[in-house]
Amino acid sequence: MGVRRGRSDGRRPPQRILEEARRRVAEERMRIARDLRDVVAHHLVPADLQAGAVAEQLPGRPGEALRFASDLSGTTA
């Protein structure tokens, strides 16, 4: 007969099991944070480029600047 790992009597699991669960939760949170950072950065780079284009076009070509600004608005929505 093997050793039971679960507890049905209401007692707490051993400390090592709790520590392992905490470690796994922390690792998953870090993975989610990295994924979120990558997604946000992926969307901000085009917005930054478009904002730079607006700044360049604004003085001499306001129509082009307006088009870039409109595109920027769609990128950040």
Which of the two residues, 77 and 59, has the higher pLDDT score?
59
**Domain limits, the chain:** 15-76
pLDDT at 26 over 90: yes
Q: What sign does the dihedral 15-17-20-24 (CA atoms) show? A: negative
Look at residue 34 in the predicted model and tell me its pLDDT.
96
Query: For residue 4, what are its two tokens?
Result: 């039971």
Look at residue 77 in the predicted model and tell me its pLDDT.
60
Inter-residue contact 57 to 68 (CB < 8 Å): yes
Residues 6+ away with beta carbon under 8 Å from 23: none
pLDDT at 7 over 70: no
Buried b (16+ CB within 10 A) or exposed e, 17-45: eeeeeeeeeeeeeeeeeeeeeeeeeeeee
